[in-house]
Amino acid sequence: MATTLYCPYCYDRFAERKIEFRCAGRVSVTGKVCKPKVDRNARDVMGDGQLRFPAFEADGRKLNATCPHCDLVTFIRLCPNCHSALPNYFGKVDSRMIALIGAKESGKTIFITVLLHEMMHRISRQFGVAVLGADDDTRLRYEKDYESSLYEQGSLPDVTRSASAGRLRQPLVFSFAIDRRRLGRTRVDRSVLSFFDTAGEDLTHSDSVELNTRYLASADGIILLLDPLQMRGARPLVGDDTELPVRADAGDRPEHVLGRVVGLLERMSGASRRGKIKKPIAVAFSKMDTLLGTLPEDSPILAEPPGDACFDEADSLAVHRHVEQLLHKWQGGGLSETLGVHFEKYRLFGLSALGNNPVGGAGDDGPRRVSHHGIQPIRVADPFLWLMSEFGAIPKKRG
């Protein structure tokens, strides 16, 4: 059976046998040696002009191939479109793409930074999984551009630049390995996870729609981040210490953002129009720390999430129903109906990546920063864990 794969770097679709190889560039016994040069695919698709050893075609179903120029065996496998080196065992292991989307300033960059930090530390201990950047570039970029600026310098990210404004931004690609014995199976199960930090404006600008469509088409699951502070009924509820974001243009308000995502997904799946959308969607309300004071004492959002090595369905459903009620209060009742009509599987979440309001800004010196209480996330991993449990990648405890 021919397997169709999606590149975790450029989201292009290809058959496994089309995977290409890159010469490892050593000197062979025959004395032949390949020279590095600019790789046209890497340059044109990813804007990567570095010198690389030559790429060549061979049977992509194999894990290695012999370079036709220097006769040396190489294990470096490439996406046929962008020529990014594919993670180990790509095509042989499950690869799960999770698309993260949301309007401008809904908190996507902070969410992804804190989620990955939690995954590499707390979640990996809780679930007995190993989470690692799949390539050097991801590891360096995550540490430098995301983790250390938020966690060490306490600075909030700048607006994420639109993908159409320059070269295609590289997604963050991670490998997630779980000891399958925990799932009653015998081997280690690896997944490749690809997160793409979209710019909010990519959802509204038509230039970026093509990229977004490819991104959504390749996704096995979607996390849609919505900002409760853009909901009419929620804005008057926040305390004085919260600097309300400017009310978004109509097109960037949660109900419209969901509508646009539904539109993209329906157009993509063209043929199966009459059915509901099959991709699971986690709809998460960010910045919940700003609304904690308005929640009842027994709110499941405030409860410590269970610490077992499995996804707790009862706990998650309690949060889901609670958010559904909150939506009525926030005057966003229609959201949950829209989800029910269009999606086979959806779940609501309430979370906070920072856990505390940022401080400073307006009047104070310098830009707004992470609060001196530090980063204390609330249920930030729930949507990701739900999707992973839906994929069968982590065990689920039924309620």
Ligand X SMILES: Nc1nc2c(ncn2[C@@H]2O[C@H](COP(=O)(O)OP(=O)(O)OP(=O)(O)O)[C@@H](O)[C@H]2O)c(=O)[nH]1
User: For residue 89, what is the DSSP state?
Assistant: T
Q: Which of 47, 58, 48 is CA-nearest to residue 23?
A: 58
If one counts every other C-beta atom within 10 angstroms of the C-beta of residue 143, the result is 14
6 counts as binding Zn ion under rule CB under 5 A? no
162 counts as binding Mg ion under rule CB under 5 A? no
Contact status, residue 191 vs residue 393, Cβ threshold 8 Å: yes
- 268: part of which helix (H) or strand (E)? helix 254-268
- Least separation in angstroms between residue 200's CB and Mg ion is 7
- Using CA atoms, how far apart are residues 71 and 49, in angstroms rounded to an integer? 26
Among 109, 138, 352, 389, binds Mg ion (CB under 5 A): 109
Nearer to ligand X, 106 or 126 (CB): 106
Nearer to Mg ion, 126 or 162 (CB): 162
Among 84, 95, 106, 160, binds Mg ion (CB under 5 A): 160
- Least separation in angstroms between residue 229's CB and ligand X is 8
- Least separation in angstroms between residue 161's CB and Mg ion is 9
Q: Which of 375, 390, 387 is CA-nearest to residue 122?
A: 375
Nearer to Mg ion, 77 or 104 (CB): 104
- Concatenated DSSP letters for 118-145? HIIIIIHHHHTEEEEESSHHHHHHIIII
Nearer to ligand X, 223 or 353 (CB): 353
Site residues (CB under 6 A) for ligand X? 102, 104-110, 156-157, 159-160, 199-200, 286-287, 289-290, 352-354, 357-358, 368
- Least separation in angstroms between residue 103's CB and ligand X is 7
Contact status, residue 218 vs residue 123, Cβ threshold 8 Å: no
- Using CA atoms, how far apart are residues 204 and 101, in angstroms rounded to an integer? 12
Phi, psi of 105 (to 5 degrees): 60, 20
* Region binding Zn ion by CB under 5 A among candidate stretches 75-83, 139-147, 207-215, 252-260: 75-83
Residues touching Mg ion, count (CB under 5 A): 3
CA distances from 370 to 155, 252, 284, 375 (A): 6, 25, 21, 7
* Region binding Mg ion by CB under 5 A among candidate stretches 82-90, 102-110, 369-377, 382-390: 102-110
- Using CA atoms, how far apart are residues 77 and 56, in angstroms rounded to an integer? 10
Buried b (16+ CB within 10 A) or exposed e, 180-189: eeeeeeeeeb
Among 19, 23, 265, 277, binds Zn ion (CB under 5 A): 23
Nearer to ligand X, 244 or 314 (CB): 244
Nearer to Zn ion, 71 or 249 (CB): 71
- Least separation in angstroms between residue 7's CB and ligand X is 23
- Least separation in angstroms between residue 107's CB and Mg ion is 8
Among 82, 115, 150, 192, binds Zn ion (CB under 5 A): 82
Binds 69: which of Mg ion, Zn ion, ligand X, none (CB < 5-8 Å by kind): Zn ion
- Least separation in angstroms between residue 356's CB and ligand X is 7
Q: Which two tokens stand for residue 359?
A: 């401080």
* Region binding Mg ion by CB under 5 A among candidate stretches 108-116, 124-132, 211-219, 283-291: 108-116
- Least separation in angstroms between residue 363's CB and ligand X is 16
- The bridge status of strand 76-78 relative to strand 172-179 is unpaired
- Using CA atoms, how far apart are residues 71 and 23, in angstroms rounded to an integer? 9
Measure the N-to-C terminal CA separation of the chain; round to a whole number of Å. 37
- The bridge status of strand 13-15 relative to strand 20-22 is unpaired
**Where do contacts with Mg ion occur on this chain (CB under 5 A)?**
108-109, 160
**Where do contacts with Zn ion occur on this chain (CB under 5 A)?**
7, 9-10, 23, 34, 67, 69-70, 79, 81-82
